[in-house]
Amino acid sequence: MTESRQAVTGDLDAMRREEHDLVVVGGGPAGLGAAQAAYDEGVDDIVILERDFELGGILQQCVHPGFGLEYFEEELTGPEYAQQFIENVAERGVDIRLDTMVLEVTHDRTVYAVNDEDGVTEIDAEKVILAMGCRERTRDALDIPGSRPAGIFTAGTAQRLINMEGKLPGEKAVILGSGDVGLIMARHMHLEGAEVEAVLEIMPYTGGITRNVVQCLEDFDIPLRTQQTITEIHGNDRVEGVTVQEVDEDFEPIPGTEYEIECDTILLSVGLIPENELSVDAGVELHSVTGGPIVDETRETNVEDIYACGNVLHVHDVVDWVTEESMIAGRSAARSLQDRVETREEPIEIESTGKLRYVVPDRISTVDPDREEIPLYMRVHAPMEDVFVTLSSGGEQLARTFERRAEPGEMVTLNVDSDTLAELPEPRLELDVVQREEA
């Protein structure tokens, strides 16, 4: 029993106990998509546990357009995208429990949750899908010298202040990091009347998708300065300015390149961390690069009958891909409940070269006669132009896809025909990235 659960449960005999086919932890876009897909695959005993007062997760504060272009083939705001799925799961009669905190998920799929109405509930689940999302890195992870004045926010916190609470964080801002939320907030702060002095990025390339660089920075003449970072924060009660320096190939500040920027606000967009405390308690193994669970093509983890999807698995750049992946997890859990998949005698391991940061899934463990193809999601280490992403086994090329430009901030997808996996030279797939002239 974990300390958090022990502190809350008290009298174990008085605990409410339930049994369900599928428990989904998290009611954001991943949890909603997984629940909808599982229901449509024939499972109707589904519970969504959500700690917030409403479903939709981070989408509820993303009032800008740009969502749904892939899944719905129309441009929606974040709340509009979420509402589609909120209505879908409600129409299907999914058991939705808001303001409910999950305290623990055990390796044998016992879920402990608490809320004001029911107290502590112990749920024995046949399948569990982890969809807790991710959180932002804060200043504590950066070790920036200086005092601790007011005016330092994560980009997501600033977004919530403006969009949901009607408060402008500051009047003159510097944004550190060029992740998608930071790029979007640069535009949003500008449109709300603040001056955005610069977006600073320590890498030689941006961390967000190209569309956001163009629409959020270039269209508004907001400067993007790569290979630069904040090395000191000035101010006592409130931020008054920052010292900025260029960095070398090892990301160390270069002496003599210092300059000052006057500002009253700093927004941090320096990466997202999958929320996997519950996963670790359940015995789920995490990937060293993504920080999310290691999964097979069904999104099942190393712990039998526990699945993971969405940003808890790996951080996505587009919510449509979260939905696509979560539906894989939902359908897979449902089909497993119905004994409609067969486990391979030997799983097919998926390996990648150093040009790729990671690939999801890590292995292919099942045979499903109704599955026509398996999508592989991956990210490159650095920007590359005119490249083929190739998939091989035993020296034989099985599939490839061409990318005019591959960016670390944008997911690359390669769909593998299930029939090609029937007779592999060896139970191993190898992913590589090669220049067009070398292919």
Encoding tokens for residue 304? 């039998």
* Better-predicted residue by pLDDT, 426 or 25: 25
Instruction: Say if 16-135+272-340 and 347-438 have the same CATH topology.
Output: no
Name the residue with tokens 């650095």: 382
**Predicted local distance difference test score (pLDDT) of residue 144:** 79
**Predicted local distance difference test score (pLDDT) of residue 247:** 97
Q: Answer yes or no: are the C-beta atoms of 276 and 285 closer than 8 Å.
A: no
Any idea which fold 16-135+272-340 has?
FAD/NAD(P)-binding domain (3.50.50)
**Predicted local distance difference test score (pLDDT) of residue 281:** 96
Q: Which residues pair with 26 in a beta bridge?
A: none
**Predicted local distance difference test score (pLDDT) of residue 385:** 93
Instruction: Outline where DSSP puts E strands in 178-235.
Output: 195-201, 224-226, 228-234
Q: Answer yes or no: are the C-beta atoms of 113 and 123 closer than 8 Å.
A: yes
**Predicted local distance difference test score (pLDDT) of residue 181:** 92
Torsion of CA 28, 306, 135, 102, to 10 degrees: 80
Q: Answer yes or no: are the C-beta atoms of 360 and 345 closer than 8 Å.
A: no
Mean pLDDT of 243-262: 97
- CA dist., res. 34 & res. 369, Å (int): 21
pLDDT at 368 over 70: yes
**Predicted local distance difference test score (pLDDT) of residue 13:** 62
pLDDT at 66 over 80: yes
**Predicted local distance difference test score (pLDDT) of residue 285:** 98
- CA dist., res. 130 & res. 142, Å (int): 28
**Predicted local distance difference test score (pLDDT) of residue 5:** 57
Architecture of the structural domain at 347-438: Sandwich (2.60)
Q: Give the CA diameter of the chain.
A: 69
**Predicted local distance difference test score (pLDDT) of residue 349:** 96
pLDDT at 278 over 90: yes
Q: Please tell me whether residue 196 adopts helix, strand or coil conformation.
A: strand
Give residue limits of the domains in the chain.
16-135+272-340, 138-270, 347-438
**Number of neighbours of residue 287 by Cβ within 10 angstroms:** 18
CA geometry: angle at 109 spanning 287 and 32, to 5°?
75
**Predicted local distance difference test score (pLDDT) of residue 6:** 58
**Predicted local distance difference test score (pLDDT) of residue 280:** 97
Residue-wise pLDDT for 78-94, tens only, equals 999 999 999 999 999 99
DSSP string, 77-93: EHHHHHHHHHHHHHHTT
- CA dist., res. 293 & res. 313, Å (int): 6
Residue-wise pLDDT for 159-180, tens only, equals 999 999 999 999 999 999 999 9
**Predicted local distance difference test score (pLDDT) of residue 220:** 97
pLDDT at 17 over 80: yes
pLDDT at 2 over 70: no
Helix H segments across 56-196?
78-91, 155-165, 180-191
**Predicted local distance difference test score (pLDDT) of residue 256:** 97
Rg (alpha carbons) of the chain, rounded to whole number:
23
pLDDT at 369 over 60: yes
pLDDT at 126 over 70: yes
Give which of 39, 52, 22, 26 is closest to 90, Cα–Cα: 39
Any idea which fold 138-270 has?
FAD/NAD(P)-binding domain (3.50.50)
| Pairing outcome for strands 101-105 and 46-49 | unpaired
- CA dist., res. 284 & res. 138, Å (int): 25
Give which of 411, 390, 370, 319 is closest to 41, Cα–Cα: 370
For residue 439, what pLDDT band results from cuts at 50, 70 and 90?
Answer: low
DSSP string, 372-412: -EEEEEEEESS-EEEEEEEEEETTEEEEEEEEEEE-TTS-E
Mean pLDDT, the chain, rounded, equals: 93
pLDDT at 21 over 60: yes
- CA dist., res. 322 & res. 32, Å (int): 10
Residue-wise pLDDT for 391-412, tens only, equals 999 989 999 999 999 999 999 9
Encoding tokens for residue 93? 């009669």
For residue 145, what pLDDT band results from cuts at 50, 70 and 90?
Answer: confident
**Predicted local distance difference test score (pLDDT) of residue 3:** 60
Name the residue with tokens 């589609």: 84
- CA dist., res. 429 & res. 375, Å (int): 13
For 103-112, 286-295, 338-347, 417-426, which range has the lowest pLDDT when averaged over its residues? 417-426
Q: Answer yes or no: are the C-beta atoms of 51 and 346 closer than 8 Å.
A: no
For the whole prediction, is pTM greater than 0.85?
Answer: yes
Residue percentage of the chain with pLDDT more than 70: 96
**Cα within 13 Å of Cα(209), Cβ side:** 14
Encoding tokens for residue 264? 């009253």
Torsion of CA 209, 299, 75, 162, to 10 degrees: -70
